[in-house]
Copies of this chain bind each other. A is one copy, B any other.
């Protein structure tokens, strides 16, 4: 058998991860069988258990990996001092990242209820950290007198929902380019937080 070590995986074979990602995104976690995933990889179902302890771990690895990578990627973005510029960076980053990874995004929003409680809590914590990054920007912008927001927490939830929604309708072959879309969402965001220019 292959590795069963490293209890909290991320070591799951990349071919298995990719197959599970695609299938979970397309049909949903509960509707996809281990046999389907195995077939996609070109292997028998039993072989998967050399790489993952069970189906749940496969889902959790995907979701945890996605959130951690999202956080790391945002932390790697250079942060302008000006809150408005920082918000713009966030909006553009968020849209780019989400358009680049439609399957991960889909799973991370849709499959939360299929996580076992302990895994769910871990995911919530990661998500909360990301929301707090945006909340920090909004709070500073308000303090600096650049934004006018009656409730920054609601603004965070509203803006993230708005921006994340882009991945439900955007098509590469559509009327608008990515940078068009980025610009439109940034215009809306800028004005929603009460900044004219």
With A28-B28, A28-B113, A30-B31 as contacts: A158 and B187 at CB distance below 8 Å: no
Which of B110, B150, B164, B183 lies in contact with A184, CB distance below 8 A?
B150
Q: Can you name 20 A-B pairs with beta carbons within 8 Å?
A: A28-B28, A28-B30, A28-B113, A28-B114, A30-B30, A30-B31, A150-B187, A151-B176, A151-B180, A154-B176, A154-B181, A155-B188, A157-B169, A158-B162, A158-B185, A160-B165, A161-B161, A161-B162, A191-B192, A191-B193
Q: How many residues of A contact B (CB 8 A)?
A: 38
Residues of A within 8 A of B (CB): 26-31, 110, 113-114, 150-151, 154-155, 157-166, 168-169, 176, 180-181, 183-185, 187-189, 191-194
Copies in the complex: 2
Top 10 nearest A-B pairs (CB, nearest first) are: A161-B165, A30-B30, A162-B162, A30-B31, A192-B192, A188-B192, A158-B162, A154-B184, A191-B191, A151-B184
- Complex formed: what's the CA distance from A75 to B154 in Å? 28
- Complex formed: what's the CA distance from A188 to B159 in Å? 9
CB neighbours (8 Å) of A114 from chain B are 28, 31
CB neighbours (8 Å) of A27 from chain B are 113
- Complex formed: what's the CA distance from A166 to B164 in Å? 14
With A110-B110, A151-B176, A176-B151 as contacts: A158 and B188 at CB distance below 8 Å: yes
CB neighbours (8 Å) of A157 from chain B are 165-166, 168-169
Cβ-closest chain B residue relative to A191: B191
CB neighbours (8 Å) of A164 from chain B are 161
Question: Are B162 and A159 in contact (CB-based, < 8 A)?
Answer: yes
Shortest beta-carbon distance, A2 to chain B, in Å?
A: 29
